Amino acid sequence: MDLYLAPFDVLGNLAHATMLETIGLLSSDELRVLSEELKYIHRQIEAGEFVIEDGVEDVHSQVELMLTRKLGDVGKKIHSGRSRNDQVLVDLKLFTRDRLWQVTEAVRQVFDRLIARSEQHKTDLLPGYTHLQIAMPSSFGLWFGAYAEALADDMLLLQTAYRFANRNPLGSGAGYGSSFPLNRTLTTELLGFEGMHINVVYAQMSRGKTEQTALTALAAVAATLSRMAMDICLYNSQNFGFLTLPDALTTGSSIMPHKKNPDVAELLRAKTNRLKALPMEVTLVMSNLPSGYHRDMQILKEILMPAFEELLDCLEITDFMLENIQVKPNLMDDPKYDLMFSVERVNALVLEGVPFREAYLMVKTEVEEGTYKASRELHHTHEGSLGNLGNDQIVKYMDANLQGFGAEKVAKAVERLLAKAL
């Protein structure tokens, strides 16, 4: 798991070394050679050539060992004013911030796909259900658009998790600060953090809380995808028959030659449902822990880190599936859906001046006596309805939520920090 942290450990070292030079614990020459070597290690990591050697405890020890081998005593100076506790914590903050942004970009891609499909099929009607009973006319435009808006809501949770991860714990040491005159504001700026965890005790208490907040955001996205996957499984079945999946996303049966099972959608449903459990795992690991660092927290890595890769895979296959789903047109022409237009009949009577309750009873009587005749003329004009999807407003909502991340500032800070190592 520590290999996930390697590039972020280098970033933390670069910021910390830069700060140490400003308070006189490193000379300018020492900072220069440390920065050059850290940049070289970063290139090794990016090339996949970095390893944690046998007998070396963790990524932090490996980086420091490499610096010491190359630079001697200069490499040993870099840990001044720092504990393993705030070192791993800043690495985890940087890792989580980075992966949350990757998830955010992948969510936006799926969102854009949903909006495009919604516009493409805004006039293709789809049966709407409540209690799994036919209810009222819907459309594929509404269905695709509903999940787009769900992801726009999920983006608020991702933003919250991102901003929580985007706070600097460096300088909190083992949770009680340092007698060195550390400049925590400087490391906050160098690493592109939005702000710092000010109280050094609380900085350490954010371990676990950061992971839980991030996983809660991932679980929200996973919940949206799992519900969509369930719809796809239903709508693909013969009894519904609303859409078809390409052969690449289905499998056959070993005994029934007609079968095309929606295995990808089913696995997507299972994987995302499993992701929904992860925030509770963190809650249980952290239960009843007092303040300060405890080794229990190491377990959090194996809960948090693979979750990002799992959700990113799920988002990728969701986008592919949405791109290739084929919608069946003219579904609602079938007489079995006549009753779905009963509300339209009620509303037509209301517009003629009949009180709603009386109109409702009139149509109910028509249905029971077999005299009801469906009219498939629809006049839905209000915001978010069949005839007025409001996708432009949903896009604006998503764009506004994305602006709250501050990711551009982070990218520029990381770019500048790595450039300092030249």
**What's the pLDDT tens digit per position in 275-292?**
999 999 999 999 999 998
C-alpha closest to that of 210 among 155, 286, 151, 106: 286
Residues 345 and 236 both lie in one domain: no
Residues 327 and 180 both lie in one domain: yes
Q: Specify if 196 maps to a domain.
A: yes
Measured in residues, the chain has a length of 422
Angle 109-111-114 (CA atoms, 0-180°, nearest 5)?
A: 115
Residues 341 and 397 both lie in one domain: no
List, for residues 299-325, the tens digit of each pLDDT value.
Answer: 999 999 999 999 999 999 999 999 999
Q: Domain containing 258 — which CATH number?
A: 1.20.200.10
Q: Give the lowest-confidence range in 89-103, 201-215, 370-384.
A: 370-384
Residues 168 and 244 both lie in one domain: yes
Between β-strands 125-130 and 133-139, what pairing exists: parallel, antiparallel or unpaired?
antiparallel
Residues 174 and 150 both lie in one domain: yes
Determine how many CB atoms are found less than 10 A away from the CB of residue 411: 12
Distance CA 422, CA 37 (A): 9
Distance CA 109, CA 163 (A): 21
Burial of 360 (0-12, 13-18, 19+ CB in 10 A): middle
pLDDT band at 169 (very low <50, low <70, confident <90, very high): very high
pLDDT band at 382 (very low <50, low <70, confident <90, very high): very high
List, for residues 209-259, the tens digit of each pLDDT value.
Answer: 999 999 999 999 999 999 999 999 999 999 999 999 999 998 887 888 888
Residues 97 and 159 both lie in one domain: yes
Residues 205 and 122 both lie in one domain: yes
Taking residues 411-416, report their average pLDDT: 94
Residues 301 and 167 both lie in one domain: yes
C-alpha Rg value of the chain to the nearest Å: 28
Q: Specify if 133 maps to a domain.
A: no
131 catalytic, yes or no? Answer: yes
Distance CA 124, CA 327 (A): 8
Residues 320 and 298 both lie in one domain: yes
Q: Specify if 237 maps to a domain.
A: yes
Q: Specify if 118 maps to a domain.
A: yes
C-alpha closest to that of 322 among 128, 110, 149, 167: 110
The token pair that represents 332 in the structure block:
């609602």
Return the higher-pLDDT residue of 150 and 374: 150
Q: Specify if 160 maps to a domain.
A: yes
Distance CA 133, CA 175 (A): 57
Q: Specify if 204 maps to a domain.
A: yes
Q: Distance of CA 173 to CAs 79, 313, 365, Å?
A: 10, 36, 76
List, for residues 40-75, the tens digit of each pLDDT value.
Answer: 999 999 999 999 999 999 999 999 999 999 999 999
**Cβ–Cβ under 8 Å, residues 327 and 140:** yes
Catalytic residue among 253, 291, 375, 379: 253
Q: What is the pLDDT of residue 420?
A: 56
Residues 327 and 344 both lie in one domain: no
Percentage of the residues of the chain whose pLDDT score is greater than 70: 99
Q: What is the pLDDT of residue 252?
A: 85
Total domains present in the chain: 2
Residues 251 and 360 both lie in one domain: no
**Cβ–Cβ under 8 Å, residues 129 and 235:** no
pLDDT band at 422 (very low <50, low <70, confident <90, very high): very low
Q: Specify if 249 maps to a domain.
A: yes
Q: Specify if 376 maps to a domain.
A: no
Determine how many CB atoms are found less than 10 A away from the CB of residue 393: 14
* Beta partners for residue 196, in sequence order: 168
Residues 343 and 408 both lie in one domain: no
Which helix (H) or strand (E) segment holds residue 175: the answer is none
Handedness of CA 286, 161, 311, 301 (dihedral sign): negative
List, for residues 123-145, the tens digit of each pLDDT value.
Answer: 999 999 999 999 999 999 999 99
Distance CA 212, CA 300 (A): 9
Range of the domain at 268: 84-127+139-331+390-419
**Cβ–Cβ under 8 Å, residues 291 and 249:** no
Distance CA 37, CA 66 (A): 9
Catalytic residue among 131, 179, 258, 287: 131
With a CB cutoff of 8 Å and minimum separation 6, the contacts of 130 are none
